[in-house]
Amino acid sequence: MDSRSCPAPRRVGIVFKRSSPEAAGCAAAAGQFLAARGIEVVEEDALTPDRVDLVVVLGGDGTLIHAAGLLEGRPVPILGVNMGSLGFLTEVPQPELYQALDHVLSGKAQVSVRMKLRVHVHRGAKEERLVDSEVLNDAVIAKGTLARMAEFDVVAAGHYVASYKADGIILATPTGSTAYSLAANGPILYPSMHGLIVAPICPHTLTQRPIVLPDDQTVTICMLSDSEVYLTLDGQSGRQLLPGDRVQIKQSPNRVLLVRNPNIDYFGILRAKLKWGER
């Protein structure tokens, strides 16, 4: 896996799942643990990308994605601690929190380097840019609950791919290959791979299958139908799309750095989450 060393931090931000009292208590205890070792602790409300050397996330994968957004593309390592079951991104179990913190403070930890996607939405003849954002997992274009199937054209690297009638389409990173894309029969990509998954959601033509494209290709989706359709970014923010809108997805120059759990590898995470080998 593409990895690099994680320097021992001096200033650590803490982000936790706000709806979880257990996560809040764990965040307070972790802050005391770090402060006792001379580390400056920065709470989420005061967290800025240039103020921290490490972010500790206490929650689930959604909380980690939120924390990655707070960093605005700055390559600050993130230590994800899962407060429930093992997560694909928050891969440190809560009982191993202090062991993981000691490992990071020793300067011996490694980080996994994850690619992101840049998403633009253009509208009208003047190409007004409505969205300029980044995702770690995926950008999803999907119809409303009661709307007709969406219709759109897909172009990759300037070449026409196909026209789709479907419930929607998912554009996912290798990290996002184990999220919504997996539920749409998309492939699992090893996190260090450089590729872009294009996975239609319930296509009208059943032979239209997910495809993996090189990471240097730009994918453009042109909206054709007037049905109710929304763009959702990493499951956290959305916007309604109109006929004629163009959604452009390409690799971002920014990366997300995830502190690796030395006690488990990626295949161990897959076995635990997907129940591989169970009888």
Counting every residue written for the chain, the total comes to 279
Q: What residues are annotated to the active site?
A: 61
- Cα–Cα distance between 77 and 7 in angstroms, integer? 9
> Secondary structure of 172-235 in the HEC alphabet?
ECCHHHHCHHHHCCCCCCCCCCCEEEEEEECCCCCCCCCEEEECCCCEEEEECCCCCEEEEECC
Which ranges of the chain have pLDDT less than 50? none
Strands 54-59 and 150-156: unpaired
Strands 128-135 and 229-233: unpaired
> Secondary structure of the chain in the HEC alphabet?
CCEEECCCCCEEEEEECCCCHHHHHHHHHHHHHHHCCCCEEEEHHHCCCCCCCEEEEEECHHHHHHHHHHCCCCCCCEEEEECCCCCCCCCEEHHHHHHHHHHHHCCCCEEEEEEEEEEEEEECCCCEEEEEEEECCEEEEEECCCCCCEEEEEEECCEEEEEEEECEEEEECCHHHHCHHHHCCCCCCCCCCCEEEEEEECCCCCCCCCEEEECCCCEEEEECCCCCEEEEECCCEEEEECCCCEEEEEEEEEEEEEECCCCCCHHHHHHHHHCCCCC
Neighbours of 232 (CB within 10 A): 18
Nearest to 225 by CA among 202, 243, 203: 243
Query: What radius of gyration do the chain's Cα atoms show?
Result: 20
Query: Which pLDDT score, from 0 to 100, does residue 225 have?
Result: 87
- Cα–Cα distance between 170 and 202 in angstroms, integer? 11
- Cα–Cα distance between 62 and 48 in angstroms, integer? 19
pTM tops 0.85: yes
Query: Which pLDDT score, from 0 to 100, does residue 146 have?
Result: 80
Query: Which pLDDT score, from 0 to 100, does residue 279 have?
Result: 65
Query: Which pLDDT score, from 0 to 100, does residue 238 have?
Result: 86
Amino acid at 191: P
Q: Which domains does the chain have, with CATH numbers?
A: 3-109+260-274 (3.40.50.10330), 116-253 (2.60.200.30)
Query: Which pLDDT score, from 0 to 100, does residue 1 have?
Result: 52
- Cα–Cα distance between 217 and 199 in angstroms, integer? 16
